[in-house]
């Protein structure tokens, strides 16, 4: 484990980013469900968003957070509340061997616009770079213009890869972004 994953916290003028633990699974699940429902309206079927379940998500996240290969961080806002999370690891795509991947990054919908997402992204990228994964990729819904702008501000660019996901019988397009030298 490297960087923040090893337990160091980023403190100072900005938000606090710390390694996530299994004890954070419930809060992370709540944030994920709320964020999906707020951000993906009109991009994925309403039935998909309605069926999202915090309890089911929590169980899945407990298993993920126990995996030492996953790099997981939460950001704590000024009130001391966990307001977002990021999950990163070695890239899963066959054509991205040796790269890192930001698998998920979500904020509580009410916490946007305060630099918390940027703090999470910086922590994940620094940790991936510390693990020898200085180039990182991520997948984003093609229709998710706000997320794409966020990733582009963080130095990511579309790399030409695309895929189609199936959400309750509805095809949803994703594109892959890449950022070199994430350190």
- pTM for the model: 0.88
Burial class (CB in 10 A: 0-12, 13-18, 19+), 153: exposed
Q: For the segment 127-136, what is each residue's pLDDT rounded down to a tens digit?
A: 999 999 999 9
What's the pLDDT score for residue 157?
97
Mean pLDDT rounded to a whole number for the chain: 90
Q: What is the 3-state secondary structure (H, E, C) of 67-83?
A: CCCCEEEEEECCCCCEE
**CA atoms 87, 9, 12, 79: torsion sign:** positive
Domain total of the chain: 1
Longest dimension (CA), the chain: 47
| Helices (H), ranges, the chain | 25-39, 46-51, 54-65, 116-130, 145-153
Q: What is the DSSP letter of 23?
A: G
**At 76, which CATH number?**
3.40.630.30
| Helices (H), ranges, 52-112 | 54-65
| pLDDT of 11 higher than 70 | no
What's the domain range around 110? 3-179
For the beta sheet containing 16-19, the strands, ordered from the edge strand earlier in sequence to the opposite edge, are: 16-19, 71-76, 82-90, 100-107, 136-141, 170-179, 157-167
Instruction: Please check whether residue 74 is in contact with residue 107, taking contact to mean a CB–CB distance below 8 angstroms.
Output: no
What's the pLDDT score for residue 42?
95
Q: For the segment 62-96, what is each residue's pLDDT rounded down to a tens digit?
A: 999 999 999 999 999 888 889 999 999 999 999 98
| pLDDT of 161 higher than 50 | yes
């Amino acid at each position: 484990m490297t960087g923040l994953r090893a337990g160091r916290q980023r403190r100072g003028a900005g938000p606090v980013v710390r390694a996530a633990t299994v004890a954070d699974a419930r809060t992370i699940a709540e944030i994920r469900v709320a964020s999906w429902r707020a951000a993906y309206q009109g991009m994925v079927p309403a039935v998909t968003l309605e069926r999202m379940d915090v309890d089911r998500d929590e169980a899945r996240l407990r298993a993920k957070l126990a995996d030492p290969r996953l790099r997981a961080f939460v950001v704590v806002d000024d009130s001391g509340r966990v307001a977002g999370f990021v999950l990163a690891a070695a890239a899963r795509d066959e054509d991205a061997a040796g790269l890192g991947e930001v698998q998920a990054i979500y904020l509580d919908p009410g916490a946007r616009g305060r630099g918390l997402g940027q703090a999470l992204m910086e922590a994940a990228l620094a940790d991936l770079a510390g693990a020898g994964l200085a180039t990182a990729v991520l997948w984003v819904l093609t229709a998710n213009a706000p997320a794409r702008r966020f990733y582009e501000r963080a130095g990511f660019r579309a790399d030409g890869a695309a895929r189609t996901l199936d959400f309750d019988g509805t095809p949803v397009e994703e594109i892959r972004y890449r950022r070199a030298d994430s350190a």
